[in-house]
Homo-oligomer: A and B are copies of this chain.
Amino acid sequence: MTAPLHETHAGGSGRRVPDNQQGMRRRNLSRVMHSVNAEGPLSRAAVASRIGLTRAAVSTLVDELIRSGLLEELGPERPGRVGRPGSALALSGRGPAGIGAEIGVDHLAVCAVDLRGEVRARAVRHGTNRGRAPEPVIDELTVLVRRVVAEAEGEGLWAAGLAVAVPGLVSGDARTVVRAPNLDWHDTDLGALLPGGLPVTVDNEANFGGLAELWLGDGTPSDFLHVSAEIGIGGAVVVDGRLLRGTRGFAGELGHVPVRPEGPDCACGGRGCLEQYAGEEAVLRAAGLEPGSHGVEFLAEQAAAGDKDVHRALRGAGTALGIALTGAVNLLDPETVVLGGALAALAPWLLPSLERELARRTAGPACAVTVSRLGSEGPLLGAAHSVVRAVLDDPATVGVRP
């Protein structure tokens, strides 16, 4: 199957290719890239038969893509196939790369992913960003971005764009952080602070996590609800293979769904939100631990070691997740719920109470709950892959070396 031609995959720029001769060429270049991506390596003849164009038309498109450094010829196909051997085409491992970045509450991370989906460079800096002003954080992130871009360039790649995952709500302009309560950032234009010279997209980390699951997950369906956590709890709603963004780009805010309406006050202004029961701080407190003293790895270690207090705290978090997810499943009727981010590592202790709650509350057969194999890598990989997908969707413009 090749990808839809008239719309880019969510997470990219969402730009529409015009419906004229030039637009048709651009869409056909994208069809070639998507067919090699889905089934490659493929000969020109195989590409032609898959996308329904003549061999001659495909050759013209392929030559252009090779000249731009987006496709490579691997040499003659192995013998034994029917017909004259053709040279197999593959996505280039030395073409454009997607640069993904993540601003976490406790870390910064950057990686470069090539067109084949391989991570070719990465850099991480640990240390809290809570309460820091945006400028010094972005300065540090920029250092990491430059290091990763330089490393990728050393391998013959070039940066096609930078996508940044943040733990907060991002406006429809894909550059302004409207509200990131765990960083204490408000109405911050990251586009103005990030390094120039590269197309930049900023999005919510849960959105990138959900897209990573859609693009890289193991048998992930095209309708699912992705639930993830770092310090807060995020959600991403994927319907028919597309991210549901909402009117202002704020859809998927699962962390502030009311679980117990008279429950503890939440930083969002509400009460008894899911984050007050299943967020990292709430779980640490419920286990009798100092919030901020430990992270998710510690909780997972203690749970694995049989710590009864941690077990009880995670059971409570699973129950709260089950209640909030019941509402979400009733509203959205997804095929599955996928636990990602930090929740993946804690899944063995969250799932029993979560699934029990969901099963007993949802009308009809309960929705299946699965665990992401990407875990906390999801948002960073989703960010980098969003740039790669944008190149596949519109190679003629997005994939052109600046």
Min CB distance A251 to B, Å, is: 4
Counting CB contacts under 8 A, is A55 at the interface? no
Let me know if A363 and B327 touch, CB within 8 A: no
Point out the residues of chain B lying under 8 angstroms from A179, CB to CB: 363-364
Q: Looking at chain A's contact residues, is the secondary structure mostly helix, strand, loop, or mixed?
A: loop
Assess whether A257 is interfacial by the CB under 8 Å rule: yes
Q: Is the CB of B261 within 8 A of A330?
A: no
Could you tell me the distance between the alpha carbons of A346 and B250 in the complex, rounded to whole angstroms? 30
Can you list 21 contacts pairing A with B, beta carbon distance less than 8 Å? Answer: A178-B364, A179-B363, A246-B333, A247-B333, A249-B333, A250-B330, A250-B363, A250-B364, A251-B331, A253-B330, A254-B330, A257-B326, A260-B261, A268-B363, A269-B360, A269-B361, A270-B360, A270-B362, A327-B327, A327-B328, A331-B332
Report the separation of the CA atoms of residues A178 and B334 in the bound assembly, to the nearest whole angstrom. 17
List residues of A whose CB falls within 8 A of some B CB.
Answer: 169, 178-179, 221, 223, 235, 237, 239, 244-254, 256-261, 268-271, 323-324, 326-328, 330-335, 360-364
A252, B331: Cβ atoms closer than 8 Å: yes
Q: How far apart sit A360 and B363, CA to CA, in the bound complex (Å)? A: 29
Residues of B within 8 A of A334 (CB): 246-247
Complex contact B248–A239 (CB within 8 A): no
Task: Say how far A5's CB is from chain B's closest CB, in angstroms.
Answer: 11
Establish whether residues A248 and B323, one from each chain, have CB atoms under 8 Å apart when the complex forms: no
A324 to B268, CA, bound (A): 17
Rounded to whole Å, the gap between the CB of A151 and the closest CB of chain B is 38
5 A-B pairs with least C-beta separation: A246-B333, A270-B361, A257-B327, A253-B330, A251-B333
Residues of B within 8 A of A256 (CB): 326, 330, 361-363
- Among B252, B254, B327, B363, point to the contact of A324 (Cβ < 8 A): B327
Cα–Cα distance between A323 and B271 once the two chains are bound (Å): 10
- Cβ–Cβ contact A169 & B364, under 8 A: yes
Instruction: Identify A248's interface contact among B178, B245, B248, B333, CB under 8 A.
Output: B333
Q: Assuming the A-B contacts A178-B364, A271-B361, A364-B169, are A323 and B239 also in contact, with contact meaning beta carbons closer than 8 angstroms in the complex?
A: no
Partner of A323, one of B250, B258, B323, B330: B258
Query: Min CB distance, A233 to chain B, in Å?
Result: 11
Contact between A331 and B269, CB atoms less than 8 A apart? no
Given contacts A248-B333, A333-B248, is CB(A260)–CB(B257) below 8 Å?
no
Q: Report the bound CA distance from A237 to B235 in whole Å.
A: 18
Once bound together, how far apart are the Cα atoms of A238 and B226, in whole Å? 20
